[in-house]
Amino acid sequence: MLIIGPPGSGKGTQAERISERLGVVAISTGDIFRAQVKGGTPLGLEARKYMDAGDFVPDSVTNEMVRSRLSEDDVENGFLLDGYPRTAGQVDYLDEVLAQGGQQLDVVLQLTADDDELVTRLLGRAKDTGRSDDNEAVIRHRLDLYHEQTEAVVAKYAERGTLTRVDGIGGIDEVTDRVLVAIDTAPVAGGR
């Protein structure tokens, strides 16, 4: 499955909880990039330039990283992608990777929240995490990119009939409950 949502929507938090509950591995492209930055790897050095500015890492880099991650053994029982795909090009690429592996998406979940709430949450989080991309100018830019590019991704899955929307406003447990209900009742591609 996929979990898609604007920065600050809580997708990482919910992805971890879904992963525990369903026993499928959660793969966050943002977390992988941050680990690479921390490790000072060539991929990390490349990604950092974009991340600090709140820009997307180029598809050529991100797609290859995801393809490699999806070839590992722990995805055999299913996986939850958090933060990928977020461009139309990434959707096409993922389609190919899944087709080659004979896999399909069961659930595409969009977590929603309005921009004012997101900015408030992210500025609050900045104090705790010290993430270099959690300052107001960069946050606004990440939100703009979500609206400009990732909403088109959401629209693609909506057209395919695989999209389920969940209201991300509320307590963490409350949202998890909504997410689990949504997964249970989600339209499965190809029918159940």
Least Cβ distance, residue 184 to ligand ADP (angstroms): 25
CA dist., res. 17 & res. 21, Å (int): 6
List of residues 6+ apart from 126 with CB closer than 8 A: 134, 135
User: Which of positions 24-43 make contact with ligand ADP (CB under 6 A)?
Assistant: 29-30, 33
Looking at beta carbons, which residue is closest to ligand ADP?
A: 30
In sequence order, what E strands does the chain have? 2-4, 25-28, 79-82, 108-112, 163-167
| Closest to ligand ADP by CB, 64 or 188 | 64
Residues 133-172, mask of contacts with ligand ADP (x by CB under 6 A): x--------x------------------------------
Picking from 107, 126, 125, 112, the residue whose alpha carbon sits closest to that of residue 164 is 107
The pair of structure tokens assigned to 72 is: 């590992």
The pair of structure tokens assigned to 48 is: 């950092």
**Residue 83 interacting with ligand ADP (CB under 6 A):** yes
| Closest to ligand ADP by CB, 56 or 79 | 56
User: Which of positions 47-66 make contact with ligand ADP (CB under 6 A)?
Assistant: 50-51, 54-57, 62
Residue of 79, 84, 93, 157 that binds ligand ADP (CB under 6 A):
84
How many CB atoms lie under 10 A from the CB of residue 112? 15
CA dist., res. 51 & res. 142, Å (int): 10
142: annotated active-site residue: yes
Which spans of this chain sit near ligand ADP (rule: CB under 6 A)?
Answer: 7, 29-30, 33, 50-51, 54-57, 62, 83-84, 86, 90, 133, 142
Return the active site residues: 11, 86, 125, 131, 142
